[in-house]
Amino acid sequence: MDLMEKIVALCKRRGFVYPGSEIYGGLQGFYDYGPLGIEMKNNLKRLWWKWMTIKHENIVGIDGAIITNPTVWEASGHVKSFVDPLSECKKCHRRFKFDDLKENKCPVCAGELTEPRTYNILVPTQLGVIEGEKIQAYLRGEACQTIYLDYKNVLDSTRLKIPFGICQIGKAFRNEVTPGNFLFRQREFEQWDLQWFCHPSELEKWFEFWKKERMDWYKGLFSHPENLDFFEHSKLAHYAKKAFDIQYTPSPFDGRELEGIHWRGDWDLSRHSEYSGQDLSYTDPETQEKYTPNIIETSGGVDRTFLFLLLDAYVEEKERVVLKLNPKVAPYKVAVFPLLANKPDLVNKARKIYEDLKPNFMTAWDDRGNIGKRYYSQDEIGTPWCVTVDYQTLKDNTVTVRDRDTTKQERLPVDKLCSYFQNYLK
Ligand code: GAP
């Protein structure tokens, strides 16, 4: 099994991620997060929100609708430009992304290929119940559009002044031609976006600022920060004037991008102003200068970050598999065990410690099998600390705390446990 197969299997076996609609044979490009996956994903989203929104005086959040007025996608350029050129095999009629083809013949049956034609990857949907009166809308192809739609409302309902930012974490949908590589390319996925509104003369400065800020955030999360770097795009999306990816190498498949930092200039607000007929310009309250704010965007994939963090953390050491996840990201922070499951004194004491820790941290309880197996089971899901209650605990109220990465154990007083773990999770 290669690394990716191991991660996919572990995700399913331990409840991180399941294939979507599996009992019906699945649906390509859709996944469900299980009990451990949702904890890890929520941890990531909370960390992102804190770093990007709560920490900043001039950044606020929104949660926009998935379906918007369809004109939004004409204004945004997606109806015309959100396209992939595809070639079709004349023999087996499979379609392939033209950019992915290495030679001019069908990679499956070696048949002759048609000239590439473009296909739009927005996901259409219909609204209304009466046939003939239904309107066609789209599931949003990128989460950020609702930020532009709400930009004026945010300005009017807060005391923000340029420069300022609006953040959002939310779903996006794309009819990807080649969904695959597990969470890397899905048809339904989640993005975390910052749209930073600034004066055109300050674009360069803020572009560099946000590039660094985003890289620092990712480096603080990964076990191998040295594997993260920037990739500068020469082929740009229709809205971008300059674009860098934050990427993770080595990736076990063809794809490394976690996040894009995009110089969007005044494209978005100018287009929405033109298509909606609304004035979306900004007047500086001090100088009275009127202008269309320019935008720097940081747009990352929650699912891709999740996937790369698992790939980055996975280690096989002798007989154990360990996810060396940052404790802040790990689904469970601590697991509590009684040394022996058939000794009521030990079980009751361990239960009490478990109940006391639980309101503060995601805490697991395990009294199955032997201690060694319980440790391995927690290692495999990345739990940073295991607390064992033994006979000495009953005498002096201390427990052993076993560190996931070093496997070393130390004895700590029960009343120091909370502050000990909290220290790492700050
Ligand atoms: N608003 C800009 C925008 O959407 P993008 O580069 O197309 O830019 C941003 O997407 C991020 O969203 C990517 O860096 C990636 O992490 C994530 N993403 C894009 N398409 C995805 C897909 N099909 N599956 C999972 N994540 C995806």
> What does the H/E/C string look like for the chain?
CCHHHHHHHHHHHHCCEEECCHHHCCCCCCEEECHHHHHHHHHHHHHHHHHHHHCCCCEEECCCCCECCCHHHHHCCHHHHCEEEEEEECCCCCEEEHHHCCCCCCCCCCCCECCCEEEECCEEEEECCCCCCCEEEEECCCCCHHHHHHHHHHHHHCCCCCCEEEEEEEEEECCCCCCECCCCECCEEEEEEEEEEECHHHHHHHHHHHHHHHHHHHHHHCCCHHHEEEEECCCCCCCCCEEEEEEECCCCCCCCEEEEEEEEECHHHHHHHHHHCCCCCEECCCCCCEECCEEEEEEEEHHHHHHHHHHHHEEEECCEEEECCCCCCCCCCEEEEECCCCCHHHHHHHHHHHHHHCCCCCEEECCCCCHHHHHHHHHHCCCCEEEEECHHHHHHCEEEEEECCCCCEEEEEHHHHHHHHHHHHC
For ligand 1, what atom is nearest to the CA of residue 260?
14
Residue nearest to ligand 1 atom 22, measured at CA = 185
**pTM of the predicted protein model:** 0.94
For residue 151, give the nearest of 265, 292, 55, 53 by alpha carbon.
Answer: 292
Give the Å distance between the CA of 140 and the centre of ligand 1: 12
Q: From CA 405, how far away is CA 378, in angstroms rounded?
A: 11
- Give pLDDT, residue 221: 97
Count CB atoms within 10 A of the CB of residue 314: 19
- If 0-12 CB within 10 Å is exposed, 13-18 middle and 19+ buried, where does residue 426 land? exposed
Q: From CA 417, how far away is CA 309, in angstroms rounded?
A: 27
User: Which residue ranges have their beta carbon within 6 Å of ligand 1?
Assistant: 142, 144, 174, 176, 185-186, 189, 191, 257-260, 297, 299-301, 303-304
Q: From CA 7, how far away is CA 12, in angstroms rounded?
A: 9
Q: From CA 279, how far away is CA 269, in angstroms rounded?
A: 9
For residue 66, give the nearest of 129, 144, 11 by alpha carbon.
Answer: 144
Yes or no: say if 358 and 337 are a contact pair by the CB < 8 Å rule: no
Residue nearest to ligand 1 atom 14, measured at CA = 259
Q: From CA 29, how far away is CA 188, in angstroms rounded?
A: 7
Give the Å distance between the CA of 412 and the centre of ligand 1: 45
Residue nearest to ligand 1 atom 2, measured at CA = 299
Count CB atoms within 10 A of the CB of residue 385: 23
Q: From CA 71, how far away is CA 272, in angstroms rounded?
A: 9
Q: From CA 82, how far away is CA 289, in angstroms rounded?
A: 34
Residue nearest to ligand 1 atom 18, measured at CA = 301
Give the Å distance between the CA of 170 and the centre of ligand 1: 12
Q: Which residues contact 60 (CB under 8 A, 6 or more apart)?
A: 53, 154, 158, 160, 164, 165, 166, 167
Token pair for residue 302? 């929650």
pLDDT along the chain (426 residues), means of 10: 96 98 97 98 98 98 98 93 85 84 88 88 94 94 97 97 98 93 98 98 97 98 97 87 95 94 96 98 97 98 98 96 98 98 97 98 96 97 98 98 98 98 95
Q: From CA 261, how far away is CA 217, in angstroms rounded?
A: 13
For ligand 1, what atom is nearest to the CA of residue 141?
4
Give the Å distance between the CA of 191 and the centre of ligand 1: 7
Pocket test for ligand 1, best of 187, 193, 244, 299 (most atoms within 8 A of CB): 299
Please state the length of the chain: 426
- Give pLDDT, residue 1: 84
Q: Which residues contact 403 (CB under 8 A, 6 or more apart)?
A: 384, 385, 409, 410
- Give pLDDT, residue 43: 98
Token pair for residue 21? 């609609």
Give the Å distance between the CA of 304 and the centre of ligand 1: 9
For ligand 1, what atom is nearest to the CA of residue 302?
16
Residue nearest to ligand 1 atom 25, measured at CA = 185
Give bridge partners of residue 168 from the DSSP assignment: 193
Give the Å distance between the CA of 82 and the centre of ligand 1: 13
Residue nearest to ligand 1 atom 19, measured at CA = 301
Give the Å distance between the CA of 206 and the centre of ligand 1: 21
Question: Phi and psi (nearest 5°) for 135?
Answer: -110, 145
Yes or no: say if 82 and 45 are a contact pair by the CB < 8 Å rule: no
Pocket test for ligand 1, best of 189, 214, 239, 244 (most atoms within 8 A of CB): 189
